[in-house]
Structure 1
Amino acid sequence: MSQVVVVYHSGYGHTQRMAQSVANGAGAELIAIDADGNLPEGAWEKLAAADAIIMGSPTYMGSVSWQFKKFADASSKPWFGQAWKDKLFAGFTNSASMNGDKLSTLHYLFTLAMQHGGVWVGTGMMPSNSKAAKRDDNNYMGSFSGAMAQSPSDAGAAEMSAGDLETARLFGARVAETAARLRK
């Protein structure tokens, strides 16, 4: 069985809820980056042992949160030794606006994965983009690069779109299935 880890920062609970859905789909362990941008005890060892690392951050001002960026900068130590080379990577994000420049955040996560010599896994999902599509359909955001969610700025995490959360779960499952196939 493959080891999958979801490392994420959440400012208001929306990205945490998304991370939980991704982890449920992947059978993954969650590692939360705290409000000061730090990882809990033992997290670096879990990341080192993982076959796949799924990264998540809210999209703030067109990129990852500063807390996630602090984690990314701290990952220069495993980068220097190429400790994460050939691991699978994937990413997800949430913002208040329909677009919100979420793709910039996913590009940041992709670039970080490539810096580490990783292999990126996209959603593998067709978008819900017909006239019959509803907001709670899977992949309503139409993302191929990673999972995206949209949560109105005045909505709590409990009010997230069921479709966005199901998309996150299916995305996590895809990463885990890919990791299992490559582990054979």
Structure 2
Amino acid sequence: MSDIRIQVAVVYHSGYGHTAKQAEAVAAGAGAVAGVDVLLVHVDGAKAPWEELERADAIIFGAPTYMGGPSAQFKAFLDATSQKVFAAGFKWKDKVAAGFSNSASRSGDKLATLVQIALFAAQQGMHWVSLGLPPANNSSTGSEQDLNRLGIWLGAGAQSNADQGSDVAPPEADLATARHLGQRVAEVTLQLAKGKAA
């Protein structure tokens, strides 16, 4: 079963480049796992490579958090799946799913975005994978360099200062957390694929 290959798609919207940088880190983490091919897809509304996404074994969704929820462009993509995926035969059922988000504030209500994405994945019949890291930077021995420094359980969070470009933000700790999420999703998806093959 060592010749099993899977595909992990990372589907995201980015308004200013920060979430794109986070998405690239998620993709790098998934791609570092042997037997995994990665498809990186930027969406800016209702158009998407639907057939390619249907072939993916896992889809990791990412969006910036604007005003307490995912960007309108990403929400338009989610809404388009009601006809392209859900009503067309529940096409993403049993795929693996996960999520990530970026905002300028430490909290920025990223959890609201991740909850919306997780609920969306549940509506599509997908299997949600959490971040799988304890919260960090929550004691006197913690630091800004810790994985999951923002203490988010549901997915990977990143914080990018509003006055900094994507050349310097989000910080490395958040990108490392994103790579962790990509790797975790890839490993879980491979486990499921090998179990199914057995």
- The counterpart of 1:176, out of the listed 179, 182, 186, is 186
Contact 1:85 1:118 in 2 (8 A): yes
Q: Distance in 2 between matches of 1:169 and 1:70?
A: 26
Counterpart of 2:114, as a letter, is: L
Q: Distance in 1 between matches of 2:47 and 2:39?
A: 13
State the partner residue of 1:118. Answer: 126
Deviations 1:122-142 (A, max 9, x none): 011112122121112110011
- Mapping of 1:60-139 within 5 angstroms? 60-77=66-83, 78-80=85-87, 81-128=89-136, 129-139=138-148
Deviates more, 1:11-20 or 1:72-81: 72-81
1:3 aligns with 2:10: no
Contact 1:2 1:179 in 2 (8 A): yes
Calculate the TM-score normalised by the size of structure 2: 0.88
Q: Distance in 1 between matches of 2:57 and 2:165?
A: 33
Q: Distance in 2 between matches of 1:91 and 1:167?
A: 12
Contact 2:46 2:80 in 1 (8 A): no
CA positional deviation for 1:144: 1.1
Q: Distance in 1 between matches of 2:46 and 2:26?
A: 21
Counterpart of 2:16, as a letter, is: Y
1:51 aligns with 2:57: yes
State the partner residue of 2:172. Answer: 162
Contact 1:94 1:148 in 2 (8 A): yes
CA positional deviation for 1:38: 4.2
Q: Distance in 2 between matches of 1:130 and 1:178?
A: 30
State the partner residue of 2:30. Answer: 26
Q: Distance in 1 between matches of 2:134 and 2:67?
A: 27
Return 5+ residue gaps in structure 2 as ranges.
32-37
Q: Distance in 2 between matches of 1:176 and 1:39?
A: 25
Counterpart of 1:178, as a letter, is: V
What secondary structure does 2:192 align onto? helix
Return 5+ residue gaps in structure 1 as ranges.
none
How many residue pairs get aligned? The number is 180
State the partner residue of 2:162. Answer: 153
What secondary structure does 2:74 align onto? helix
Aligned-residue CA RMSD (Å): 1.0
Calculate the TM-score normalised by the size of structure 1: 0.95
Contact 1:26 1:172 in 2 (8 A): yes
Contact 1:31 1:39 in 2 (8 A): no
What secondary structure does 1:72 align onto? helix
Q: Quote the sequence identity (%).
A: 51
Moved over 4 A (4+): none
